[in-house]
Amino acid sequence: MQLRKKLNLIDVFSIASGAMISSGLFVLPGLAYARAGPAVVISYFFAGLLAMTGALSIAELATAMPKAGGDYFFISRSLGPAIGTVSGLLSWFSLSLKSAFALAGMAAFASLASGFDIHIIAILLCLLFLAINMIGIKEASTVQVLLVMGLLVLMFLYVVRGVPAIEPQRLRPFTPVGVVAVFSTAGFVFVSYGGLLKIASIAEEIRDPGRTIPLGILLSLVVVSAFYSIMILVTVGVVGGSELSGTLTPISDGAAVIMGSWGRIALSVAAILAFVSTANAGIMSASRYPLALSRDRLLPASLGKINARFRTPHMSLLLTGLFMIGALLVKLDVLVKAASTVLILTYILANLSVIVLRESRLQNYQPTFRAPLYPWIQILGILGPLFLVFEMGRDAVYMSLGLVVCGLFVYWFYGRIRASREYALFHLIERIRPKELGESLETELRQVIRERDGITRDRFDEVVEESLILDIGEQLGAEEFFELVATAMSERLGINESALLRAFQNKERETSSAISPTLAIPHVIIEGEHAFDILLARSRKGVIFSEAAPAVRTIFVLVGTRDERNFHLRALAAIAQIVQDPRFPERWMAAKDEEALRDLVLLGKRRRDSELQGM
């Protein structure tokens, strides 16, 4: 059962923004200030720049493979199921933990007002958002849009009132702990940009993902980065250093200085909205990781079940909710630091995946958005975050290594036994050494493109999927070519080989089937009923059809009975639309095998019968 595609651009922007604006803004700035001083502003900005490199790669990968599980899906398809399993479990862990931390923060505010135990409040809130996500992702995203819009209004108020109140002397000395501390702090606050992964994880449920995903990711990152930098600059500029270093409510403290008690209340409300939006988006997106792993048989099949009524992954949601409740009962400070490290590693893997997929030259790797400045953006996105990891200290690295080992343990003792899947690294290796492969990654990517672009199979697709394909290495004359075609197609059509050859010869004498120097479409009518077939041919050195077409390399052969005349014309129209793509001739000659040729036709841009009927 498929997930519903209901999310639009405002939903995507709100989910990503709401996931980022949380503890990273309302709790961490005080802790980060204690590490770097006023230069914490640079730490946030630098972390945002490195997040941008990952965001560009994630946007490219998500538009090529908009499937539930996001970074797990495209990392497993590029680097293999072992690394994919580790990545999927680590992303699930870090996003769930970040959401649990947000619930704890919100519960702390609520506890001050109500007097109830913070853990009880946090667990009740977790159950509430779990129920909302059980009902449906559109309902959950509607809540998210309202929360984020209210949050942005209050944040804008803080900026407008706060910038004129900045006291420049509070920014001096700017780097009291040294420059190195600025970079280690950037790694510490990197978790603040983890919300971008949440968009990749719900890509399968986004309408028009090729346009919506890159726009939503980049817009949210730019807006949130700007708010982070300006709001933290304001806070550092109005709150005393000693007070800021020891507070867990830095923005509320800054609002109290700028606007008095009502300002503290307003930004405390903003903090609560931020925690709510992060928790809601976290449950929504984290639950898609066990779902994706289950689909690939790397986790139990029960986690892949979709609720028949609400079309939501209810078992995966329950597991995520239980994990978050468990996380609420333990100390989170070391784990939050590990979560930041894990997110950094995920961004590194995303950048590496783009390099592997592009260099593997998979024909059906067709992202609708391509990261600019390849491969320099990806190289920076690998080396920069690695630098941050080593600057963060040994504790976080050891914790992350432990989690990696746990992920490999799950793959080795469960997933490896049950699943076998081809991945892009095989294709990269193929350029050096041939290797027997299992399930075709090209075939899987073809299906992903169909889902992404809303392609509905029609009869032309069905015929092409079963059609014969000739990949001819030597140069031939037209007569030799038609002999090959007659031999190949006569048995399938139930017609005498000589009769079919004469039909081609007679048609060619009437008028050449070459419609350009590189393209020919021979098509003939045969006797009988309810018969139609297509043959695709590529001639690497060309078929000589005439003086005007001495080296035709692309040939579509159509043969059908008279009662198939209407479909015959529709097939001709479909081929005409497909070959109009200016990249088609180059891609046709670059296709590595017969199935790659077939995919070029199946995924070609054209109007399908279902689209025409709906007009």
| Cα torsion angle, 456, 458, 463, 466, sign | positive
Statement to judge: residues 266 and 323 lie in one domain: yes
Statement to judge: residues 412 and 468 lie in one domain: no
Identify whether 41 is part of a domain. yes
- CATH number of the domain within which 283 lies: 1.20.1740.10
User: Of 418, 446, 463, which closes a domain?
Assistant: 418
User: Of 418, 437, 472, which closes a domain?
Assistant: 418
User: pLDDT tens-digit profile of 140-179?
Assistant: 567 667 878 888 898 999 999 999 999 999 998 999 988 8
Q: Determine what percent of the chain falls in helix, strand and coil, rounding each to the nearest 5.
A: 70, 5, 25
Identify whether 427 is part of a domain. no
Statement to judge: residues 408 and 522 lie in one domain: no
Statement to judge: residues 331 and 462 lie in one domain: no
Q: What is the pLDDT of residue 614?
A: 42
Identify whether 424 is part of a domain. no
Statement to judge: residues 382 and 467 lie in one domain: no
Statement to judge: residues 461 and 335 lie in one domain: no
Q: How many domains does the chain have?
A: 2
Alpha helix (H) ranges present in 454-525? 459-466, 478-493, 497-510
Q: With a cut of 70, which residues of the chain have pLDDT below it? A: 1-5, 68-70, 108-115, 118, 136-141, 143-144, 197-198, 201, 281, 330-339, 393, 396, 418-441, 609-615
Identify whether 168 is part of a domain. yes
User: Of 357, 390, 418, which closes a domain?
Assistant: 418
Q: What is the pLDDT of residue 329?
A: 75
Identify whether 60 is part of a domain. yes
Statement to judge: residues 511 and 406 lie in one domain: no
- Please count the other Cβ atoms lying within 10 Å of the Cβ belonging to residue 468: 15
Q: What is the pLDDT of residue 479?
A: 93
User: pLDDT tens-digit profile of 441-456?
Assistant: 677 777 777 777 777 8
Contacts of 199 (CB under 8 A, 6+ apart): 12, 15, 16, 58, 62, 70, 206, 213, 216, 217, 220, 285
Statement to judge: residues 411 and 464 lie in one domain: no
**Full domain range(s) for residue 584:** 455-613
Identify whether 2 is part of a domain. no
Statement to judge: residues 258 and 151 lie in one domain: yes
Statement to judge: residues 300 and 370 lie in one domain: yes
Identify whether 297 is part of a domain. yes
User: pLDDT tens-digit profile of 67-108?
Assistant: 766 677 777 777 778 888 888 887 788 778 777 877 877 776
Identify whether 435 is part of a domain. no
- d(CA 202, CA 182) in angstroms, rounded, equals 33
Q: Record the pTM.
A: 0.72
Statement to judge: residues 17 and 146 lie in one domain: yes
- CATH number of the domain within which 543 lies: 3.40.930.10
Between vectors from CA 340 to CA 339 and to CA 342, what angle results, nearest 5°?
Answer: 65
Statement to judge: residues 412 and 463 lie in one domain: no
